Amino acid sequence: MTAERPTAERPTADGTVEKEPDGSTTIRFDRRLRHPIERVWQALTDPDELRSWWGDTKLELVKGGPFQLRWRNTDEHGDVATLDGTITSIDPPRLLEIAADWGTTATGQPGTRTHLTWELEPDGDHTLLHFTNKVEAPAPDVTTAAGWHLHLDALVTILSGGEVDIAHPEDLFGPIQQAYADKYGPGPEPGDNATPQASEADSSS
pTM for this model (two decimals): 0.85
- What's the pLDDT at 63? 98
pLDDT tens figures, 82-115? 999 999 999 999 999 999 999 999 887 778 999 9
Task: Say yes or no to pLDDT of 187 above 50.
Answer: no
| Cβ–Cβ under 8 Å, residues 44 and 96 | yes
User: Which residue in 156, 141, 190, 159 sits closest to 25, CA to CA?
Assistant: 190
Task: Judge whether residue 191 has pLDDT over 50.
Answer: no
Say how many C-beta atoms besides its own lie within 10 A of residue 92's C-beta.
14
Q: Which domains does the chain have, with CATH numbers?
A: 2-184 (3.30.530.20)
